[in-house]
Amino acid sequence: VSNVIHEARALDISTHTIFPLGETASAIRGENELWLAMVLRNKILVSLKPLQLAAVCGSLVSDGLKVRPWKDN
């Protein structure tokens, strides 16, 4: 795990320096904080219109499709 965090440039494992990506990852909670931080720190978000940004944020917190046992899938 530490090598992945190091390779993503979130943390320098030799000096224990936390980079901005690591700061963001440590401030949020989710199933994969590093991935969420990488999305949220992406510069492309700056150019999005409000509705587009809302769609990105909504997709990050969505549970996705659920299997409903009472329906034929």
Q: What are 41's two structure tokens?
A: 């720190």
Indicate whether 37 belongs to any domain.
yes
Residue with tokens 């320098």: 12
**Confidence at residue 62, expressed as pLDDT on a 0 to 100 scale:** 72
**What's the pLDDT tens digit per position in 1-34?**
888 999 999 999 999 999 999 999 999 998 899 9
Residue 8: inside a domain, yes or no?
A: yes
Identify the domain containing residue 20 by its residue range.
2-44
Please tell me the distance from the alpha carbon of residue 34 to that of residue 54, in angstroms, as a whole number.
Answer: 20
Per-residue confidence (pLDDT) for residue 31, from 0 to 100: 85
Q: Specify if 53 maps to a domain.
A: no
Does the residue 56 lie in any domain?
no
The reply to whether 50 falls in a domain is no
Whether 22 is in a domain gets the answer yes
Residue 72 has pLDDT above 90, yes or no: no
Beta strands in the chain (DSSP E): 11-12, 17-18
**Residue at 65 is within a domain:** no
18 in a structural domain: yes
| The pLDDT of residue 39 | 95
Domain count, the chain: 1
